[in-house]
Each structure stands twice: as structure tokens, then as C-alpha cells.
């Protein structure tokens, strides 16, 4: 059995696209996924399946959410090995206190390096970001609320779907696998 981590975009944010995690767990089980576990209310789901077709899983989950709830949700899937590489590859070498201000934006496809410079105009003076294939590390020492570099802005600049998680959630999702 292969283990996967799905990260849904925009679930249960500001009273929009509400899906209870118990219902989301049942939706995944209905689709034939095993050992389904959710983590916090933002649409993080760990599951197992014998088939290794990530694109197929993305489409199946997206379509079932659309069918059951009537709204589109971007679904991004990574493996535990990919999460391990993300954690090991933290580019800024931050201490444990600084890690509280680190975020990872998961991109639906590889980001184009030339677009990275366009993000800089939305960053606060001390912010740092680093693109690595299909994810973006984003460190904002003054706080996420002090920057204009939101998930929406990242999607707009790169022209692809994305969803952002804080460092603690990234580490916890990996730990749960």
C-alpha cells in the first residue's frame, strides 16, 4: 500500500467551503482509500491506496467533492518521501523559534524560477522565499499578516493552483505518516 498526503485548497476558511473532517474522512473511505486520517480543519488527509497514480487520485477526490458539495477544490497530493525532502531541504537554516514563521506553499506543478522575482514586490523587507520544484518556502519574521504575499498572490504570479501550510503542520503531517 502506498501512503499519500492530500492537501486541499481553501477548505473551512472564513466560513467558506465547509466540510467537516469526519465527513471528509468518510468521502475518502467511500472512494476506496484505506487508513484515512485527517489533520486539523484545513483539509489535510493522509490515506493509503494500492494504486500509485497521483493524478488519478487527485481527479477522483476533486470530482467527488464537486459531486457531493457542489464546489471546486484544488487537491494537491504528496508522498511521505516528498514531505521528508521538504523538511530536510529547509533552505534558511532557521532555529526553532524562527520556524514558527515559516510556511510551505505546495504548488500544483513545478513553479517557474523566473516568476520568483515577481513575488518580491509583495514581500515585506525581511521576508525570504525559496522555490524548490513544486513547493515554495516562505519565511516572514514579522508575521504572515504583515506581508502581501498571500496564497492567492502566489497562485496569480505562478498561474497555477497552490495551498499553504505552516511549518508545524508540514512536520506534523509527515510525522503522522
pTM confidence score: 0.94
Terminal-to-terminal C-alpha distance of the chain: 12
Long-range contacts formed by 17-23: CB under 8 A, 24+ apart: 17/69, 17/71, 17/73, 19/43, 19/65, 19/69
Burial class (CB in 10 A: 0-12, 13-18, 19+), 76: buried
Question: What superfamily would CATH give domain 2-78?
Answer: SP0830-like domains (3.30.70.1280)
CATH 3.30.70.1280 range(s) for the chain read: 2-78
Vertex 70: Cα angle to 176 and 4 (nearest 5): 20
> What pLDDT does residue 177 have?
95
> What pLDDT does residue 82 have?
98
Question: Which CATH class for the 83-176 domain?
Answer: alpha beta
Q: How far is CA 26 from CA 33, 37, 51, 78, 136, in A?
A: 10, 10, 19, 20, 31
Sign of the CA dihedral 114, 99, 2, 44?
negative
What are the mean pLDDT values of the chain's consecutive 10-residue runs (177 residues total)? 96 84 96 97 95 97 97 96 98 97 96 87 89 94 85 93 96 97
Q: Measure the CA–CA gap between 78 and 28, rounded to whole angstroms.
A: 16
> What pLDDT does residue 175 have?
97
Amino acid at each position: 500500500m502506498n501512503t499519500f498526503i492530500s492537501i486541499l485548497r481553501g477548505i473551512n476558511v472564513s466560513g467558506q467551503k465547509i466540510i467537516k473532517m469526519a465527513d471528509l474522512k468518510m468521502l475518502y473511505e467511500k472512494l476506496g482509500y484505506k487508513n484515512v486520517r485527517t489533520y486539523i480543519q484545513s483539509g489535510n488527509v493522509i490515506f493509503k491506496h494500492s494504486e500509485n497514480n497521483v493524478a488519478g487520485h487527485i481527479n477522483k477526490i476533486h470530482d467527488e467533492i464537486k459531486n457531493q458539495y457542489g464546489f471546486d477544490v484544488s487537491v494537491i497530493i504528496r508522498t511521505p518521501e516528498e514531505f521528508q525532502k521538504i523538511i530536510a531541504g529547509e533552505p534558511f537554516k532557521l532555529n526553532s523559534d524562527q520556524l514558527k514563521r515559516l510556511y510551505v506553499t505546495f504548488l500544483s506543478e513545478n513553479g517557474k524560477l523566473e516568476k520568483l522575482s515577481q513575488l518580491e514586490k509583495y514581500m515585506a523587507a525581511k521576508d525570504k522565499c525559496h522555490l524548490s520544484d513544486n513547493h515554495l518556502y516562505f519565511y516572514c519574521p514579522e508575521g504572515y499578516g504583515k506581508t502581501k504575499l498571500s496564497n492567492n498572490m502566489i497562485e496569480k504570479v505562478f498561474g497555477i493552483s497552490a495551498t499553504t501550510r505552516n511549518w508545524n503542520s508540514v512536520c506534523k503531517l509527515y510525522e503522522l505518516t
